[in-house]
Structure 1
Amino acid sequence: MVLVLWIILMSHVPHIVFLDRATIPAFIQLKPFTFECTVDMHDNTPPNLVAERIENADIVITNKVRIDNDSLSRASLLKLVAISATGTNVVDVKACEIRGCVVSNIRNYAVNSVPEHALALIFALRRSLIPYHASVKAGRWQQSGQFCYFDYPIKDLANSTLGIFGSGALGSSLANLARGLGMKTVFASRKGQAPRDGNYRPFDEVVETSDILSLHLPLTPETRNMISDPEFDRMKPSALLINTARGGLVDEEALVRAIKGKKIGGAAFDVVTTEPMPDSHPFMALMDYPNFILTPHVAWASEEAIQTLADQLINNINAFVRGEIRNQVFS
């Protein structure tokens, strides 16, 4: 199959279309392609223009622009969809396979950035950094009459238990960082499944016993809303929930109820189900809560991680044109 794709692709000058170049910052340089080609770069592509823009493409690059079966129906030349991210839910992989089109993605590029961001969120919540900063800005320190004040809780990380959901590169990297701080780390088994070996603890046990819970799983039908009202009811009242993985892993309405009802100690998210977050999103009700932090899906976005992503993206494409398939995604 690889040889056939290569022969077809090299029968003419390949045309490449990048549907959402703006998802990679302008200061990040893309390496040159190692073959003769034509390239169309679009900062973004609305859904109604996807089919038109990929119609004559041999290779399409997308990060968040959805490529579905309908848009693929006009792309008779398409041989590779290169996803410039790890998540693959934006592409109908099965429809691509039926058409003989390879799908590739980016892997293990943010093994420092995402865990460090998760740890930063843990520090911020555990030590109440944001509410203390906001209160100083509001004049509370001057009003206190003391060298310090104790309006918000502060707890050490040492000897606390970190429950990690997802034992891949990111979850494992966070575990290493946490152990260096003297934290106890446990990996949760999949919800509703028995632990596969001694390195995992039952899902419900991790929910109930962890001081901090951090999510590092893909969004699938099995993981959607894996944390909802029943899980919040079983967590420690002081527990913190961290999500730098995917919106949809947590029932967002249930999280709002848990924070407002003081069922848990706090939460910090970098992802939501709809991005950018609309004004009607449930999390808008939590924006003034001192124990809730929301960042705009930037856990992955250290300059080093983005450059690694960009380099791997171009390497995947260059390799494909040489006849080598890297990071292929299957349905």
Structure 2
Amino acid sequence: MNIVILDAYTLNPGDLSWDVLNKLGNCEIYDRTLPNQVVQRAANAEIVLTNKTILTSKEISQLAKLKYIGVLATGYNVVDIEAAKARDIVVTNVPSYGTNSVAQMVFALLLELTKHVGLHSEAVKFGRWSNQADFCYWDKSLIDIENLTMGIVGLGAIGAAVAKLAAAFGMSVLAYQRNPKPTPNVKHVDLETLFKQSDVISLHCPQTLETQQLINVQSLALMKTSAFLINTSRGGLVDEAALIKALETKQIAGAALDVLNFEPPNADNPLFKLDNCIITPHIAWATKTARQRLLNIAAANIDGFLTGDLQNLVI
């Protein structure tokens, strides 16, 4: 089998081994692939792996040998599913590889919003502590998260992991889920109640027509002025213009975003200028442990395809 990986670098910048894939076929590995390079590079491929490189109906129709598309992520909106289905091309994804990694990042971001560890560390290195008359100081108010209310939008695997950590920190947990099931230490509520009562709102739902710009002028207006928003899910869940205004006017206390509307973002994104907004470069998923798990599952998906034991099918 000829296997082509179109955008390998983010999964494996050099700290993982490709052996699990090399054992399954002849692998051609590209760090990055531009849209106009897809057809040429994958022309002889029976199996194509992609993370963010888009496979439209145009590319799929020109790849005559293609039998299988493996998405190196959970979301599979980079593939024209209908075009693949019309060609009887198998499409798989990799769910649940980074559950703990993302959940931990939620609390890394929340603790930075409330404890300002990075901010104070940098200030100390620039001499602020050395020049103090007292034994300690703080540049921003420090907030305990115990007894605060965590509101989780989307209680799938990651949302449930966040809920478990929140309970361990002594937080109350509200959650909104389209089809709620009884969950320990979680109270299921409607979205309006969640927005109104939560001290922290963490987004863990897929980006769909229904959830596009879920965080908007109206939902922000419902939130407490002391509330924090955390998004480690998809950038399109947030109306960035509305969030910028809410942060500028202190309508909410702060936000921490691991994802943005456009990635990579423009250098002049107004969010970068706000001192009550933390931004990280879409890395919640990217611990070495999570990336190794992703690679192993992707290889197992291909092995299942080759042996007739299909798993993690999208179609």
TM-score, normalised by the number of residues in structure 1: 0.89
Matched with 2:297 is 312
Percentage of pairs with the same residue: 39
Matched with 1:22 is 9
Q: Out of 265, 274, 284, which is 1:299 matched to? A: 284
SS at match of 1:293: strand
Matched with 1:112 is 100
In 2, Cα distance between the equivalents of 1:67 and 1:233? 39
Q: Per-residue deviation at 1:196?
A: 5.1
Q: Per-residue deviation at 1:143?
A: 3.5
SS at match of 2:209: coil
Q: Per-residue deviation at 1:231?
A: 1.4
Aligned residue type for 1:177: L
- Assess if the C-alpha contact under 8 Å between 2:213 and 2:239 holds in 1: yes
Can you list the C-alpha shifts for 1:187-206, whole angstroms capped at 9, x where unaligned? 0245xxxx756752010110
Higher relative contact order (CA 8 A, sep 6+): 1
Alignment of 1:209 with 2:194, yes or no, is: no
In 1, Cα distance between the equivalents of 2:172 and 2:24? 53
Can you list the C-alpha shifts for 1:6-48, whole angstroms capped at 9, x where unaligned? xxxxxxxx21111011122211123434866322111110011
Q: Which consecutive aligned stretches of 4+ in structure 1 deviate over 4 angstroms post-superposition?
A: 33-36, 195-199
Q: Per-residue deviation at 1:55?
A: 2.3
Matched with 2:253 is 265
In 2, Cα distance between the equivalents of 1:264 and 1:33? 47
Aligned residue type for 1:62: T
Q: Per-residue deviation at 1:65?
A: 0.4
Alignment of 1:239 with 2:227, yes or no, is: yes
Q: Per-residue deviation at 1:153?
A: 1.2
Rate the CA distance shift 1:23–1:150 in 2: closer, same or farther, 3 A.
closer
Matched with 1:121 is 109
Aligned residue type for 2:5: F
Q: Per-residue deviation at 1:222?
A: 1.1
Could you tell me which runs of 5 or more consecutive residues in structure 2 were left unpaired when the two chains were aligned.
Answer: none
In 2, Cα distance between the equivalents of 1:66 and 1:226? 25
In 2, Cα distance between the equivalents of 1:247 and 1:95? 26
Matched with 1:132 is 120
Matched with 1:74 is 62
Matched with 1:162 is 150
Please tell me the root mean square deviation across aligned C-alpha atoms, in Å: 1.7
1:161-200 aligned at under 5 Å gives the runs 161-189=149-177, 199-200=187-188
TM-score, normalised by the number of residues in structure 2: 0.93
Give the number of equivalent residue pairs: 310
Can you list the C-alpha shifts for 1:36-88, whole angstroms capped at 9, x where unaligned? 63221111100111122222211100011000001111112111100111111
Matched with 2:310 is 325
Aligned residue type for 1:253: A
Aligned residue type for 1:299: A
Matched with 1:7 is none
Q: Out of 94, 103, 110, which is 2:91 matched to? A: 103
